Structure 1
Amino acid sequence: MKLTTTGIISALCWSARIASASTAHILTYDPQSQPRHDPHSRTLSPVPARLLLAQRAGVEDYHRADIARDEVIDAINDYGVRDHMFTEQRDGSRRALILVEGAEGKELDSFRSAYTSVQVSPAPAAHASKGLFIDLIKQSDPRPLAALSDDAVLANIKETNNVVVNGDMFYLADSLADASAMFEKLAKSNEWSITALISPPVDHFTKQGKEEKFQWGTYEIPQRQTKRDRLPKEEPLTETHSFKPVQSFSAPISSFANNTTPLRGILPACFTSQSACESATRNCTDHGHCSKKYHDPDSLAPGGSTGLDCWSCQCKSTKSSDGKKTTVWGGPACQKKDVSVEFWLIALFTVGLVSLIGFAVGNLFSMGSEELPSVIGAGVSGPTARK
């Protein structure tokens, strides 16, 4: 009986330890509201807790896939930051997000009792919580931070005193005492809407696979370009059967010269490779050559890599067989003749001819407008008869 009682007590201790280790905590503070000291704090699952963190960090647009759930709406209404209606302007308080890993014990209980607290159960893995913290930083300031690695993002935040470009703060605390001191410092200034995410300590007896089971859910990650600079999504091209597929981009250049049929359709201004440029333009219709115009490091290649090259035709002038006539070529495939010289010759000749005719008509008009002499027949009268 004694052994049975000891076993039951040990099992209860292990159950309590596992339950405590699988619970994270979210602490909030807002200058315009009083903290709620509820001994039985509310418990959220990871997805509503993530939406609450995103809303308090001001990046809920990246998490809109789950924002219509009832438990998410209730959590944001109860613990979210109050924004003004019918305006995109934020209130006067700035936002701060603090992350502390592996906190437990009496210090955590006293810290929780001083502010509004929400439990997250089952708690995601420690590395998942840190990954969410870094993603929230990238979402708050995507232009310089979206292209950086996780370590580079944390290093950048430390260099800027944990403040991003919009004035919000993201602080990775070294310990629970460090997080508590920063939380109290910001709360005393009464200028910050503060959120602290406290993840439980890593249970070394828990397998890694079990930790991987509970995550924060899925959400959008900002691209290298910001929303304003991002190009609109295009519909995927469908294969057409009106043209024969290109078998090889390495066809000899001489084969393009034998094809004199006109190019159909509107050609793009840029091609992704030299071979694609030569194939689509028939080596610039033998009136130039394909060359790399520029390199765009911010564009995404089809294979997922970053950076695209712009290849286009560089046209050249050609001379007739006798060397007397020079033809200038232009267009995306150097297929169009430059007729600007002929145009200006015709235009100048037309202007000169019109000016000459106008001058002649003006002279005739000025001559016709002169007054006639008073006596037209003076000195020209005939002989008179003598009487």
Structure 2
Amino acid sequence: MRLLAGLTAAALSGLAVAASQSTADVYILSANQQSSSETPSIPKEVARHILLQRASRQPYGSDLRDIPSSIDTETAVSHMARFGTGPEPLFTQSDRVNIPQLVVILEGVTPQQSHELKDALTQSGHHAAFRVADAPSAVANKNLMTLFQQLGAASIQQCDLVHAINPFDDECWTGISSTVKYDLQKSSSAHSALLASLPQINKLVAASDLELTLLVLPESTRSSKVNSWSTLAGSPANNRRRDFGERVITDSTVVRLAPSTPTRSANVNIQKKAIPACFLSLDACKEATNDCSGHGNCVNKFGTGNVTASDARVCFTCRCMATIVHRGDEPGTRGKKTVHWGGNKCQKKDVSVPFWLITGFTITIVGAVTFAIGLLFSVGQEQLPGVIGAGVSRGAAK
């Protein structure tokens, strides 16, 4: 009897260990992170929607028809609203929309590496946001990365982790959202680099310069029999919400959307964050504004003085200057014109002078024409003098 009880306990513990090894932890590092006493376990379909919301820069509508019957729709929507980015406001500008988003997928994580990463994140004040109990295989992760790119997220697979976590690195980042996947069995240095980069990540997250979503996949999930993050084929009970008359977005069959990869040029600078009103140094002003877009100079608006003194007021901003464009090189044109610039980086053409000239001229002409018509109308309505009227009456009597 004792032997049977021991075998049962060993079997149950083995199943518990196997289940824990196939569970993937998801960490969401953001400035407005909400601490919770418990970590919910979310199906992979709901986790897929959350990851797509955080990685995609194009409008993504969550299709809940692939949600399994093990979770109700209200709970699934609650998880997506809590852990996802949420829809963009229609009539107001949200600062959260402009925060760079980075999704990092770690494959082949050993139990020791997972324990070290969890301890380091916990000491930094970051706990697992949720867990994925049925994490799929490496094939599903590859298809998920492809889906990220098709929804507008840039893949920075060529960058190492130290450069990938820096949203101001123009060699890696080409947009506001990026994704990257590392296999720790092939690139073991990514784990140590992530642990060493946690202080820098915490500074970027605290300053709202970055929001990082970290998906930690154990080694046991590599050979999982589940090869998709969205199970659409199966029994009617698991797909009761599916309408067979419509097509559902999956990892393998995706609506082909052109990725929004901005082009690089000297005059185009991707604005990941709002430019501050003042810079504390001349070099910081030049670097953040691309030397005022080449249309001005960074100056201290409080004047030149002892900027090293403790009571000195320093505020470096862009002073825009006019540029002269020679039109003689264009066919059929000659002469030159002066272009005025404005904006916090001198990146916008100042059209206020031509606008007020055209507006003032139009108002003046309309006012003059209206005054002339009114003057003629008033003259025509006046009665003739009495002397002229008497002369006309006497001539008519004769």
Quickly name the TM-score band, shorter chain normalised.
0.3 to 0.5
Name which one, 1 or 2, has greater alpha-carbon Rg. 1
TM-score with structure 2 length normalisation? 0.45
TM-score with structure 1 length normalisation? 0.46
Higher RCO, 1 vs 2 (CA within 8 Å, ≥6 residues apart):
2
